[in-house]
Amino acid sequence: MRPLFSALLASIMLVTAVLASEPRTTPSAADHPTADEVLLLTSFKANGQFGPSLSQSTDGVHFTPLNHGEPFFQPPRWPNGQNLVRDASILYHDGLFHMVWTTGWTGRIFGYASSKDLVSWSEPRQVRPFPTTLPSEDQPDNVWAPELHWDPAKQDFFILFSSTTPRERNNVDASNNDGKVGSRYDNRVYITRTKDFVSYRETKVFYPCDFASIDAVMRLDEANHRWAMIIKCPRNWDLPRMPGRNLWVSFTGLDLDHPDFTPLHGPIAGNHSPMHSNDDPKKAMAEGPTLIRYHDRWLLVWDEPAGDGLQLATSADLLTWTHRKDATLPAKEFHGTLFYAPKASVGWLK
């Protein structure tokens, strides 16, 4: 190899390595929305017995109903009474919409269905994330708020959800919602993975903590090479240790099989936080968060179910938030999920 060419090649390789190691400051392939995409929000009315609704936004602040505000999916009439569609989480990937949801207040399953256009849906399936071979004290009393994600590192889907098991409920750590051993709810956030929504990897605790926790949602913070997680502490607001009914944020690295969560930051919404719409602790409760990157900022939508309903905030860094009280969101609807979809694939826009 000629010396001049060799030196030039070495310089090119050095510049390439430096660029690859530096944080990305220019728009990436993951930046949204593109000109061909629409920002959508799911929500539901009442107890979830009517099915979920869809809204769209063109500015990330004001949302208008699709399908005249009527449900876009009908709850299945399963024989075991799991007939609700609450907390619907939708993800568009490779030409298909995938949806998971809470089927009931108690039970051991969550629901799954798919669609090409959000109008016509596949036959709903029951997903039982805890195997029947587990002892009774490790079988869940409930499977709540499954949140669907795509993991580009593992090239598979993962679902986060919350469950209380008799073992956790009755242990002596007093992490239950009311701080008392043996009381009804002492949820933990679990994870399961799938490539095809037919077979699932072993379910395990995803976020180990010493307090009850539910409603976890994650988004890839590509610019900082990490995942961001918003999570609810559902413990009573007046407890001396980890008082809750509020939302917190934590971060972890890209390998979700070996998460390394940072200490919780917050609370960022709900009781004991700067963001709530009512000073009454019973009405300030925050839950059902959903998070998405919108151009140069983050959007957070959450629910004040006993107060003023769905709320929206924006942030540049996921730590400092601005409560957008001018936001327009579905009234008297609950627990939404933000997601992007190609405009041409959304049947309700045609």
User: How do residues 119-146 score in pLDDT, each as one tens digit?
Assistant: 999 999 999 999 999 999 999 999 999 9
Identify any residues that bridge with 228 across adjacent strands, giving them in sequence order. Answer: 219, 251
Helical (H) or strand (E) element with 90? strand 86-93
> How confident is the model over 68-120, as pLDDT tens digits?
999 999 999 998 889 999 999 999 999 999 999 999 999 999 999 999 999 99
Question: Has residue 10 been placed in a domain?
Answer: no
Asked if the structure places residue 43 within a domain, the reply is yes
Backbone φ and ψ for 25, nearest 5 degrees, come out as -110, -10
| Domain limits for position 125 | 31-349
Query: Is residue 19 in a domain?
Result: no
Is the separation of the CB atoms in 186 and 242 below 8 Å? no
Residue 9 pLDDT exceeds 80: no
- Answer yes or no: are the C-beta atoms of 302 and 321 closer than 8 Å: no
**What residues pair up with 50 in beta bridges, in sequence order?**
none
Say what the pLDDT of residue 81 is: 84
- CA atoms within 13 A of residue 268's CA, in its CB half-sphere: 29
304-313: average pLDDT: 96
Sign of torsion, CA 204 209 215 218?
A: negative
The span from the CA of 66 to the CA of 123, in Å, is 23
Percentage of the residues of the chain whose pLDDT score is greater than 90: 89
Q: Judge whether 266 lies within some domain.
A: yes
Report pLDDT digits (tens) over 143-153.
999 999 999 99
Grouping H, G, I as helix, E, B as strand and the rest as coil, residue 51 is coil
DSSP lists the bridge partners of residue 162 as 144, 189
Model confidence at 30, pLDDT cuts 50, 70, 90, reads low
Q: Give the pLDDT score at 295.
A: 95
Distance, CA of 312 to CA of 283 (rounded, Å): 16
Instruction: Kindly state whether residue 25 falls inside one of the protein's structural domains.
Output: no
Q: What pLDDT is recorded for position 172?
A: 92
pLDDT at 26 over 50: no
- Decide if pLDDT at 20 tops 50: no
Q: CA dihedral defined by 257, 260, 261, 263, rounded to 10 degrees?
A: 160
The pTM score is 0.91
* Residues belonging to the chain: 350
CATH of the domain at 251: 2.115.10.20
Q: Is the pLDDT of residue 31 over 90?
A: no
The whole-angstrom separation of Cα 185 and Cα 163 is 9
Which pLDDT band holds residue 161 (cuts at 50, 70, 90)?
Answer: very high
For residue 50, being part of any structural domain is answered with yes
Which pLDDT score, from 0 to 100, does residue 88 have? 98
For residue 269, CA distances in Å to 18, 30, 39, 195, 249 come to 39, 27, 23, 34, 10
| Sequence-distant (≥ 6) Cβ neighbours of residue 141 within 8 angstroms | 106, 163, 164, 165, 166, 169
Kindly report, residue by residue over 250-298, the tens digit of the pLDDT: 999 999 999 999 999 999 999 999 999 999 999 999 999 999 999 999 9
What band does 29 get if pLDDT is binned at 50, 70 and 90? very low
Residue 174 confidence (pLDDT) above 50: yes
Total tally of structural domains belonging to the chain: 1
Contact 161, 149 (CB under 8 A): no
More confident residue, 251 or 23: 251
Q: What are 32-66's pLDDT values in tens digits?
A: 899 999 999 999 999 999 999 999 999 999 999 99
Q: What whole-number distance in Å separates Cα of residue 284 and Cα of residue 258?
A: 34
> Considering the chain, what is the average pLDDT of its residues?
92
Q: Quick check: is 307 in a domain?
A: yes
Domain contains 15? no
- For every residue of 136-175, DSSP letters joined together read GGGS-S--EEEEEEEETTTTEEEEEEEE--HHHHHSTT--
Give the Cα separation of 52 and 20 in Å (integer). 42
Class of residue 110 by CB neighbours under 10 A (exposed 0-12, middle 13-18, buried 19+): buried
